[in-house]
Amino acid sequence: MGRWPALKRRFLYADPRQYWTLRGGDDYFREQEGQRTRTERAEWIAGRIASYRPGSILEVGCGYGKQLREIRRRIDVSMVGIDFSPTQLRRGREYLDGLDRIALVLASGAEIPFPDRSFDLVLTSAVILHNPPDAAERIRREVIRVCRRFAAHNEDTDVSYNRFGYDTAAWYRAAGLPLAESGPIAIDPEPPHSQFCVAEPWRR
């Protein structure tokens, strides 16, 4: 990361929650929905999630709910999305309108407001990478705490002013927690930075 990204991180990304509250909402929605590759990625991830046949799902950092809607197209299970950005959740309530058994809750991934082992599968998609190391660590531990069987992560490893770039699979390996799969997102044009992994923390 060069000089300008470092300065941008310091000033523009000093408070991630505030950043995502300003960045989230209609403009972000239009930008994301305007990219075909973004939808193809969400479809690919949803296919992998559905293949585990989870009985319930929590998505941490669900944004406007793109991933939740893609998953619902494949499996009809009860789902909860949490996000710390009220503008993202407001957009999400419109986007997911009419779909039952999907609840959206304003909360931080670093302090998930649910008891231990509440969800069969917990997903993060492009969320941990937006958090500085101490918050990223808290999120990973919270994910493990509230998940019953699977912890699934789509977290790229590249670095920018608002991306910290973590190797999530390596984190699970170092913690001695088993992985069901790990690798780049196969459909990505430039897979080296992408990573999708599914851990089974309670199987060790």
Other CB atoms closer than 10 Å to residue 110's CB: what's the count? Answer: 17
Query: Distance between CA atoms of 150 and 179, rounded to whole angstroms?
Result: 9
* Cβ-based nearer residue to ligand SAM, 77 or 152: 152
Give me the 37-76 binding string for ligand SAM, x by CB under 6 A, dash otherwise: ------------------------xxx--xx---------
Residue 201 sits in the site that holds ligand SAM (CB under 6 A): no
Q: Does 157 help bind ligand SAM (rule: CB under 6 A)?
A: no
Stretch that binds ligand SAM, among 113-121, 122-130, 180-188, 189-197 (CB under 6 A): 122-130
Chosen residue from 109, 121, 156, 171 binding ligand SAM by CB under 6 A: 109
> Which of residues 77 and 104 has its CB atom nearest to ligand SAM in the complex?
104
Per CB under 6 A, 110 contacts ligand SAM: yes
Residues 77-106 that bind ligand SAM (CB under 6 A): 83-85, 88
Provide the binding-site residues for ligand SAM, judged by CB under 6 A.
16, 20, 24, 61-63, 66-67, 83-85, 88, 108-110, 125-127, 130-131, 135, 139
